[in-house]
Amino acid sequence: MAALEFGLDFWNPIVWVIVFLVLIAGAYLLRSRGQKKYKKGTAQTQIFLSGEEPPPVEQRHIKAHNIYWGFLQALKGYYDPTVKAHTGIINDYMIWFTAIVTATAVILFIVG
């Protein structure tokens, strides 16, 4: 009932969930063996930055446009033309539509 079968393979989420729960329980066991003797609210739970004052909260959070900067930079050759194609002008959308209809019709005529 729960399983999906593909020829010889299968996927059974119930089995997966049971295994996952067992692993979670193991992780929890390990965690519960950890050190409990620290004092909340003192320097022990504060951010430590080589003795400096940590920056305010706004600056500590990494902004969305900085995430994956390296990925975007590495694929600049792909991204620049792709982003440029998304002009946001409705006429350009229609140009794409006309071009693709023509191309499809030509392909259907030639190939069959």
Partner 1 sequence: MDKLITHSPILIIAIPLLAAFLTPLISRVNQKARDVLVITTLALAGFLVIILARDIYANGIHIYTLGASSPTLAIPEQYMVPMRIILEVDAMSIFMCIIWATVSLAAGIYSLSFMKEETGRDRFYTLLLLMVGGVFGMMLTGDLFNLFVFLEISAISGGALVAFRTRFTDAVEGGLKYIIISTVGALMVLFAIGIFYAQYNLLNIAALGQVIQYTMLDKVALAFLVIAFAMKLGSVPLHMWVPDTYAVAPANITAMLLVSSQICMYALFRTCFSLYGVTLNTATVGWIVIILGMLSMFVGVTMAVLQTDIKRLIAYNCICESGYILLAVGVGLAVLGQPAALDTYGIAAMSGGIFHMINHALFEGLLFLAAGVLFYRVGTRNLNEMGGLAHNMKFTAILFLLGALASSGIPPFNGFASKLLIYESVYQFNPILAIIGIIVSIITLAIFVKAFFSAFTGQVLPKYKDVREAPKLMMLSMIILSIIIVFFGLFPGLIVDWLAHPAADALINQAEYISAVVGG
Partner 2 sequence: MTQGAPFNVPFLAVAMLIGIAFYIILSQRNLIKLVMGLGILASGVNLFLITLGYREGGVAPIYTNVPIEKMVLPVPQALTLTSIVIAVATLALMLSMVVHIYRHTGSVDAEKSRTMKG
Say which residue the tokens 């982003």 belong to: 83
Report what 58 binds from partner 2, partner 1, none; CB cut-off 5-8 Å by kind.
Answer: partner 1
Radius of gyration of the CA atoms of the chain, in A: 28
| 19-27, 40-48, 69-77, 80-88 -> range binding partner 2 (CB under 8 A) | 80-88
Of the candidate residues 86, 108, 111, 112, the single one contacting partner 2 (CB under 8 A): 86
Nearest to partner 1 of 51, 112 (CB atom) = 112
Contact between 64 and partner 2 by CB under 8 A: the answer reads: no
Of the candidate residues 50, 61, 98, 109, the single one contacting partner 2 (CB under 8 A): 98
Secondary structure (DSSP) of 2-59: --EEETTEEE-HHHHHHHHHHHHHHHHHHHHTS-----TTSGGGS--BTTBPPPPHHH
Evaluate whether 49 touches 59 at the Cβ level (below 8 Å). no
Contact between 83 and partner 1 by CB under 8 A: the answer reads: yes
Nearest to partner 1 of 22, 83 (CB atom) = 83
